[in-house]
Amino acid sequence: MRGIGSIEGCAPSIEHFVPQQYLAPDGSFDAARVAALGIPRELLMKLYRGMLLIRIIDERMLTLQRQGRISFYGEARGQEAAVVGTAAALGKSDYVLPALREAGAALYRGLPLRTYISQIYGNENDLTKGRQMPCHPGSRDARYVTMSSCIATQLPHAVGMAMAAKLRHDPVVIAGYMGDGATSEGDFHVALNFAAVYRAPVVLVCQNNQWAISTPVAGQTASPTIAHKALGYGIPALRVDGNDVLACYAAMRDAVAFARAGGGPIFLEALTYRVSAHSTSDDPSRYRDESVTAVWKSERDPLCRFRHFLRVIGALSDGVDSALHEAIEAEIKSAVVAEEAARPPALATLIEDVFATPTEALREQLAEVAAALPAHPHS
Ligand SMILES: Cc1ncc(C[n+]2csc(CCOP(=O)(O)OP(=O)(O)O)c2C)c(N)n1
Ligand SMILES: [Mg+2]
């Protein structure tokens, strides 16, 4: 999109929906246009680190899952630009309600790596006490609400939180993320309608990675773009190349400013591709042409594109890049060693957090479990 000014108050025509892009897939860019974005070099490097961190964590976690050391994992490979670019435009006191693939946003917002990995192991250090599937981190400190596995349920929550903020005159913005598949859910429509009517300060971000497990986006909707759905509800929409981190950041920055200034909800569609399997329980070669995936994985890779840009502008040398890789690898390795060695959550946590005082029935059941597990080291 050409900016908020061109969309405010009226639906743009379809030609406005050519995705905004600053870095072409081949790495070329218009230096003046990029400079006009005014992104400081320090932030550029932070974006790069955030993207690289996701890429390396995903590789490590996939290996751990294949070795049987963790039970499940869902990669965000190929979507690092959309995750980090959008997250970076939010303020510290804003909130994130994620969908499936935004854990990198939690890390970017300060979730400690060990805490993230403890959640994947579901051990005693896990903030959610092993009660969630792996890859469902949540953090009060990072203002990152635990992901809900039920597709799109986070969207009415995001809008509700935004309404609460509005009623309290709290200038926070809520970012509600979703995948393309989520836009067919009733919750999506409920959330958008309510947000539009009551002008909730929410930025709705769709990572359109073109697949919802085995359903391609063409089988998901007859809408020409996902962004059109927002227009139908009277919500202005932006569309970006989701593999261009600068485009994602710039659009999200505009969107957040729009929502914070009282403009109401705004929608951002980031066009990307799920180059990985849906999760470690999936085999995409059974339902899609993986030669298409190969193109996205190589020529359209968001990390390579951004790395090329950073090299051309002189912000990243081979030495700095490999030092960064090594530092991230070492950080992940020590987090895995520590969290793999950590104990499971104490047995009593099974009945905590439901009632202020656990009921007699729950206490009896706990005793029964404890008796059946005499060797359990934490009962
Ligand atoms: C309400 C609901 N229906 C179905 C599922 C099973 N399911 C899990 S992920 C998924 C696809 C989600 O696709 P999308 O929203 O595009 O996100 P992506 O996985 O591509 O990031 C489905 C159907 C679910 N978790 N919740
Ligand atoms: Mg999808």
Q: Looking at beta carbons, which pairs linking 218-225 to residues 24 or more positions away fall under 8 Å?
A: 220/180, 220/181, 220/183, 220/184, 221/180, 221/183, 221/184, 224/14, 224/17, 225/17, 225/269
Distance 181 CA to ligand 1 centre (A): 6
Distance 45 CA to ligand 1 centre (A): 32
Residues 299 and 373 in one domain: no
DSSP 17: G
Residues 129 and 220 in one domain: yes
258 and 267 in contact (C-beta within 8 Å)? no
**Domain range spanning residue 303?**
4-345
From 155, 208, 213, give the residue whose CB has the most ligand 1 atoms within 8 Å, as the site to mutate: 213
Q: 88: part of which helix (H) or strand (E)?
A: none
Strand pairing report for 211-212 and 215-216: antiparallel
Options 189, 287, 307, 308, the catalytic residue: 287
284 and 66 in contact (C-beta within 8 Å)? no
Distance 220 CA to ligand 2 centre (A): 10
Q: For position 354, what pLDDT does the model report?
A: 86
E-state strands within the chain: 95-97, 174-179, 202-208, 211-212, 215-216, 237-241, 266-271
The alpha carbon of 73 is separated from its chain's Cα centroid by a whole number of angstroms, namely: 14
Q: Using pLDDT thresholds of 50, 70 and 90, give the confidence band for residue 18.
A: confident
Mean of the pLDDT values across residues 177-200?
98
Options 109, 278, 300, 305, the catalytic residue: 278
Q: For position 180, what pLDDT does the model report?
A: 98
Strand pairing report for 215-216 and 95-97: unpaired
Residues in contact with ligand 1 (CB, 6 Å cut-off)? 100-101, 149-151, 179-182, 209, 211-213, 274, 278
Distance 295 CA to ligand 2 centre (A): 18
From 151, 206, 273, 276, give the residue whose CB has the most ligand 1 atoms within 8 Å, as the site to mutate: 151
Residues 162 and 223 in one domain: yes
Residues 238 and 298 in one domain: yes
305: its two tokens = 């594109």
Residues 82 and 123 in one domain: yes
Least confident interval from 42-46, 130-134, 307-311 = 130-134
**206 has which bridge partners?**
178, 269
Q: What is the CATH number of the domain that holds 59?
A: 3.40.50.970
Mean of the pLDDT values across residues 272-292?
98
Q: Using pLDDT thresholds of 50, 70 and 90, give the confidence band for residue 4.
A: very low
Number of domains in the chain: 2
Distance 342 CA to ligand 2 centre (A): 34
Residues 359 and 332 in one domain: no
Q: Using pLDDT thresholds of 50, 70 and 90, give the confidence band for residue 215.
A: very high
Residues 242 and 369 in one domain: no
Options 77, 274, 300, 305, the catalytic residue: 274
Take atom 4 of ligand 1 and give the residue whose Cα is closest.
151
For 316, the 3-state DSSP assignment is: coil
Residues 237 and 360 in one domain: no
Mean of the pLDDT values across residues 295-312?
97
Residues 225 and 374 in one domain: no
- Cα–Cα distance measured from residue 186 to residue 190, given in angstroms and rounded to the nearest whole number: 6
Ligand 1 atom with minimal separation from the 151 CA: 26
Residues 120 and 52 in one domain: yes
- Cα–Cα distance measured from residue 364 to residue 370, given in angstroms and rounded to the nearest whole number: 10
Contact partners, residue 179, CB within 8 Å, separation at least 6: 99, 100, 101, 151, 206, 207, 208, 209, 212
Does residue 336 carry a pLDDT above 80? Answer: yes
Take atom 12 of ligand 1 and give the residue whose Cα is closest.
212
Residue whose structure tokens are 């670019």: 85
Active site residue 274: yes
The alpha carbon of 187 is separated from its chain's Cα centroid by a whole number of angstroms, namely: 19
Residues 245 and 359 in one domain: no
Residues 356 and 304 in one domain: no
